[in-house]
Amino acid sequence: MAIPRSQYLSSVWRDGIFDGKVIFCTGGGGTICSAQVRAMVHLGANACIIGRNVAKTEAMAKSIATARKGAKVIGIGEVDVRRIDTLEKAVERTVKELGGIDYVIAGAAGNFLSPISGLSANAFKTVIDIDTIGSYNTLKATLPQLLISAAKNPNTATNPSTGGRIIFISATFHYTGMPLQTHAAVAKAGVDALSASVALEYGPRGITSNVLTPGPIAGTEGMARLGGSQPEGAGNPLQRWGSVKEIADGTVYLFSDTGSYVNGEVLVVDGGGWRAPASM
Ligand code: HXC
């Protein structure tokens, strides 16, 4: 059964704005990334979502396809972002079946809570491998398609035709440092640096690269790993956890005409939480 639009996308966006476009998303079987892709599909895009679990990824692809009549959504499991060859094969299949790639979300992540004393060298490296190297591999495997899309869709002030855009999903841990999250903080600092460098190196060829950073979002695996229920005050000035819709809206903002002049930026969608004192 189709999920109602109001759960994953605001009513302000116009249907059809991504007609004929294709989005490729790693971590697309997860709660946040699937909402981002569902929103893009609702607004006209076709999609390929990538994951490590075949059944979960294929089921999510079917579910996302219900967002729009006629939508094509491929789910490719058995892809590990730590292995670029598996990503390259997925890109090849996406191009064959959907015709190209206009937008990329590098969303695959691995995380857990651990003090440094409980973190083996391999545990630390595993998170760097999934988050940082995995984001780089995603960029590297999709870059030829992003360049083709950017060339086809020139981004000018008068006609900001959209294509050739990438969003990296990050975190705010590294702005302040974070106990029990050393591994993720280091990994996501690398992701932010990767995005900024792509923005500078490939902006002249029409590609935009930005980071989207979710705060605490209700109903996600990340929050379940942190205990699952919202504490009083939610730890941020807005005093509530966010919704996947609020992350999907940020995604549509960055990928549509509205984000045409945004490049090398970090969009933090966390209710102001990372700025808030611990007492809030
Ligand atoms: C300490 C741990 C650990 C834990 C695993 N390791 N879990 N160390 N505390 N809780 C260690 C293992 O002992 C091993 O080190 C090394 O990490 C690799 O573990 P594997 O299980 O072999 O790796 P792998 O199967 O590749 O799994 C990767 C993973 C796993 C990151 C450990 O949790 C995973 O696949 N997660 C994917 C989904 C996910 O994490 N989603 C959350 C994203 S949300 P040794 O030395 O024994 O070999 C998010 C928001 C914040 O990021 C969430 C806050 C928690």
| 259-278: pLDDT as tens digits | 999 999 999 999 999 998 77
111 lines ligand 1 (CB under 6 A): yes
- Residue 279 is predicted with a pLDDT of 63
Q: From residue 193, how far is each of 110, 196, 204, 209, 261 by CA, in Å?
A: 18, 5, 18, 11, 19
The catalytically annotated residue of 149, 188, 195, 245 is 188
- Taking the centre of ligand 1 as the mean of its atom positions, its distance from the CA of residue 186, in whole angstroms, is 15
Tell me which of 81 and 221 has the higher pLDDT.
Answer: 81
pTM: 0.97
Q: Is the pLDDT of residue 234 over 80?
A: yes
Q: Is the pLDDT of residue 33 over 70?
A: yes
- Residue 21 annotated among the catalytic residues of the structure: no
26 lines ligand 1 (CB under 6 A): no
| 84-143: pLDDT as tens digits | 999 999 999 999 999 999 999 999 999 999 999 999 999 999 999 999 999 999 999 999
- Residues near 69 by Cβ (< 8 Å), separated by ≥ 6? none
Tell the burial category of 71 from Cβ atoms under 10 Å away from its Cβ (0-12, 13-18, 19+).
middle
- Residues near 110 by Cβ (< 8 Å), separated by ≥ 6? 126, 127, 130, 131
| 65-89: pLDDT as tens digits | 999 999 999 999 999 999 999 999 9
For the chain, give the secondary structure using H, E and C.
CCCCHHHCCCCCCCCCCCCCCEEEEECCCCHHHHHHHHHHHHCCCEEEEECCCHHHHHHHHHHHHCCCCCCCEEEECCCCCCCHHHHHHHHHHHHHHHCCCCEEEECCCCCCCCCHHHCCHHHHHHHHHHHHHHHHHHHHHHHHHHHHHHHHCCECCCCECCCCEEEEECCCHHHHCCCCCHHHHHHHHHHHHHHHHHHHHHHHHCCEEEEEEECCECCCHHHHHCCCCCCCCCCCCCCCCECHHHHHHHHHHHHCHHHCCCCCCEEEECCCHHHCCCCC
Q: What is the mean pLDDT of residues 187-201?
A: 98
Q: Which protein residue's CA is at the shortest distance from atom 39 of ligand 1?
A: 110
- Residue 96 annotated among the catalytic residues of the structure: no
Q: What is the largest CA-CA distance in the chain?
A: 55
The catalytically annotated residue of 149, 170, 209, 260 is 170
Q: Which protein residue's CA is at the shortest distance from atom 31 of ligand 1?
A: 110
- Taking the centre of ligand 1 as the mean of its atom positions, its distance from the CA of residue 206, in whole angstroms, is 36
* CATH entry 3.40.50.720 includes domain 15-275: yes
- Taking the centre of ligand 1 as the mean of its atom positions, its distance from the CA of residue 111, in whole angstroms, is 5
- Residue 226 is predicted with a pLDDT of 75
Atom of ligand 1 nearest to the CA of 220: 44
- Residue 280 is predicted with a pLDDT of 66
For the chain, give the mean pLDDT.
95
- Residue 157 is predicted with a pLDDT of 82
Q: Is the pLDDT of residue 190 over 90?
A: yes
221 lines ligand 1 (CB under 6 A): yes
Q: What is the mean pLDDT of residues 170-191?
A: 96
